[in-house]
Amino acid sequence: MSSDLAIRAEGLGKLYRLGSKFEPRLTLREQINRIVLSPVRRLQAVMRGESAQILGTDFWALEDVSLSVPYGEVVGVIGRNGAGKSTLLKILSRITEPTHGRAEIRGRVGSLLEVGTGFHSELTGRENIFLSGVILGMTRSEVISKLDQIVAFAEVERFLDTQIKHYSSGMSLRLAFAVAAHLQPEILLVDEVLAVGDAAFQRKCLGKMSDVAQEGRAILFVSHNLEAVQRLCDRCIWLDGGRLRMEGDPGTVVRAYLENGETLDSSYQEDRQCSLNDPVVLREATVLNAPDEPSSTICFGEPFALRLRWDVAKDLPGAVVVVQIRDAQERLIFAASTQGDDFEMEAGTIETICRVRENVLRPGDYGVSITCVRPPRTRFVHLDRCLSVRVLDVPAPGRTLPQLRRDALVAPDVRWDFQGSMVPGGAGSLQVSYEN
């Protein structure tokens, strides 16, 4: 049934010249400067014996990616930041051209690369529905016929003729998604749209996505929400460094992707020596899992530790070590400090281990910041997000991962005590306690 393919892509590649991608705002003078000087620089480099390859600032955001999406299928695309997911969607939605390869798209494409594309804050809700709808590819008559549904879905009836600059952020988000959700293209390309909004809103979006899939349309869905990918997708593609690493059943691909966590910054190293002017150097920092092995991926609920090795030039009474754990949205989840413990920063090599005995982190990625300070205002070391911890969507032995906990900020291990006469057959009061 190859003829029923919505998308067929072969050998897609996208080359970025770093000069044009990361310095897009060259002024004319800079450009002239560069053109005049580049042969000189090139010559200098050749004299120094560097090859032209080093000089080349080329970078393949996507390399030789082939894929096909048949109608009626939802295909998830996962991968780390910079793996080429967004580039792939941009090529397929014709926002940018591929450098290599070819893709055939059969049907109208609606791309949702952000929520609220084309919204203008000075216009009213109603005006924005039309504007955004037409920008996303609807005709005016389609918008008119869907207007009531969109308004009902967004729950903004009363504010329809209010400028959206007076909307709360939640309201404009709902309105934006409502417009997008009522697009009728045969192919939908969705990028991380669900990363915004609260949990209830995300659930609503996911629900709408699965409805769309039921109607036989084709969806390519890029997300970091692995749980959503597993639930919604029929097939999953894993992009890594611009290349297609794995393709297949979502459960299998997601698991393989998660197990590939070692490439995270599981350890930090510094070769610098301490000196009297720079008395404390963090030489090494490592994440340890429950059996005390270095690993930055840990299971949900698994205790872990942070091992820090310091080089200290002189005794520093009063110095304390602080670690901070933040989630992907930069929210501080918890912090720990040696203050109050019997800790002295003494000259020599010191090892400090911060053991997180009860791991309340819910699945996701976290960054660890490490600081060494002497209150009130001397700061010897401050390393922001120098380590990463990934908590897998897989519970540690003896722990379960109830659905409810996924939306919460932290997931502590709790114990329920029950008292009362609800136990079947039990007369009078009976105490039941569960412990793991």
Partner 1 sequence: MLSESVVVNGKTAAQLPLVVIEPSQGWIRINLAELFQYRELVFFLAWRDVKVRYKQTVLGAMWAILQPIITMVIFSVFLGRLAKVPSDGVPYPIFAYTALVPWALFATGLTQASNSLVNGANLLRKVYFPRLVMPIASVLVGVVDFLLAFTVLLAMMLLYGFAPTSAVVVIPGLFLLTIMTSLGAGLWLAAFNVRFRDVRYIIPFLVEIWLLATPIAYPSSLLSESWRQVYAINPMVGVVEGFRWALLGTDTAPGPMVLVSSIASALLLVSGVFVFRRMERNLADVV
Where along the sequence are the contacts to partner 1 (CB under 8 A)? 1, 3-4, 6, 9, 16, 20-21, 24-29, 31, 71-72, 90-109, 111, 113-114, 117-118, 120, 122-123, 127, 130-131, 134-137, 139-140, 184, 186, 215-218
Q: How far apart are CA 15 and CA 58, in angstroms?
A: 7
For the record, the structure tokens of 198 come out as 């609260």
Least distance between partner 1 and beta carbon 127 (Å): 7
Q: How far apart are CA 173 and CA 153, in angstroms?
A: 12
How many residues are present in the chain? 436
Q: What angle do helix axes 140-154 and 125-135 make, rounded to 10 degrees?
A: 130
Least distance between partner 1 and beta carbon 230 (Å): 24
Least distance between partner 1 and beta carbon 92 (Å): 7
* Minimum CB distance to partner 1 smaller for 30 or for 278: 30
* Minimum CB distance to partner 1 smaller for 196 or for 313: 196
* Minimum CB distance to partner 1 smaller for 90 or for 405: 90
Residue 120's alpha-carbon distances to 116, 123, 127, in angstroms, are: 9, 6, 9
Residue 277's alpha-carbon distances to 168, 232, 246, 312, in angstroms, are: 51, 56, 50, 11
Q: Which residues of 409-427 are buried (b: 16+ CB within 10 A; e: fewer)?
A: eebeeeeeeeeeeeeeeee
* Minimum CB distance to partner 1 smaller for 4 or for 407: 4
Least distance between partner 1 and beta carbon 385 (Å): 27
By the 10 Å C-beta count (0-12 exposed, 13-18 middle, 19+ buried), 394 is classed as: middle
Q: How far apart are CA 250 and CA 147, in angstroms?
A: 36
For the record, the structure tokens of 106 come out as 């059969």
* Minimum CB distance to partner 1 smaller for 189 or for 391: 189
* Minimum CB distance to partner 1 smaller for 133 or for 363: 133
Neighbours of 55 (CB within 10 A): 14
Least distance between partner 1 and beta carbon 11 (Å): 11
Least distance between partner 1 and beta carbon 349 (Å): 49
Amino acid letter, residue 267: S
Least distance between partner 1 and beta carbon 22 (Å): 11
* Minimum CB distance to partner 1 smaller for 103 or for 321: 103
Element (H, E) at 206: helix 199-214
Element (H, E) at 366: strand 364-374
* Minimum CB distance to partner 1 smaller for 20 or for 339: 20
Count how many Cα atoms sit within 13 Å of the Cα of residue 399 in the half-sphere of its side chain: 23
* Minimum CB distance to partner 1 smaller for 18 or for 37: 18
Least distance between partner 1 and beta carbon 253 (Å): 25
Q: Which residues of 134-172 are buried (b: 16+ CB within 10 A; e: fewer)?
A: eebebeeeebeebbeebbebbebeebbeeebeebeeebb
Least distance between partner 1 and beta carbon 13 (Å): 9
